[in-house]
Amino acid sequence: MAFRLAAPEDAPAVVALVNAAYRDDTGQAWTTEVALIAGPRIDEAGFLALLRPGSVVLVAERAGALIGCVHLAQGEAGACRLGLLSVEVGAQGMGTGRALLAAAEAYARERFAATRMVMRVVSARHELLAWYERRGYTRTGRLEPFEPGRGERFIRGPLAFERLEKRLD
């Protein structure tokens, strides 16, 4: 597996990967939110907006094929915000997410001089919260309202985000 920074020309592939991971209705993706939220998770304009100073999308490739991505953005003092962690449905359950998360943490430490990672996870996603906890993230108990993005709508809601944190030093 190789990691690199996403470029604007990656937009169609990243958008397809993210939307498949978050909105899969085949029952194959354990990361799906299809029972909670309908509509696209991201579009090309949203992806391109992430490619700005202090913000990157790291992609994972295997044999030249995109199999994962994660968004990183410099946050409040010493923090890096992590989001959009997505793994191609066929590559889930094979350690791809763990490897991508480790690469994201290393990038945050080395390039953003981050001492902690912060993220928001939909609080109804108990299995995902547990996955992050097994990787050293702590649930803070801080909840924020989830506002559906462009084209999204609640199937079950309202929903909230829970903030998770991990020390990187």
CATH classification at residue 114: 3.40.630.30
The answer to the question of residue 156 being in a domain is no
Give the total number of structural domains in the chain: 1
Q: How far is Cα 66 from Cα 64, in angstroms, rounded to an integer?
A: 7
Q: How far is Cα 118 from Cα 167, in angstroms, rounded to an integer?
A: 9
Write out pLDDT tens, residues 56-88: 999 999 999 999 999 999 988 899 999 999 999
Neighbour tally for 105: CB within 10 Å = 20
The answer to the question of residue 125 being in a domain is no
Is pLDDT above 80 for 11? Answer: yes
Q: Cβ-count burial of 20 within 10 angstroms (0-12 exposed, 13-18 middle, 19+ buried)?
A: buried
Write out pLDDT tens, residues 15-44: 999 999 888 777 676 777 878 888 889 999
The percentage of residues in the chain with a pLDDT greater than 70, rounded to a whole number, is 98
Write out pLDDT tens, residues 108-155: 999 999 999 999 999 999 999 999 999 999 999 999 998 887 787 888
Nearest to 67 by CA among 135, 2, 132: 2
Is pLDDT above 80 for 92? Answer: yes
The answer to the question of residue 82 being in a domain is yes
DSSP 3-state helix, strand, coil percentages of the chain (rounded to 5)?
30, 35, 35
The answer to the question of residue 151 being in a domain is no
**Residue range(s) defining the domain that contains residue 84:** 2-119
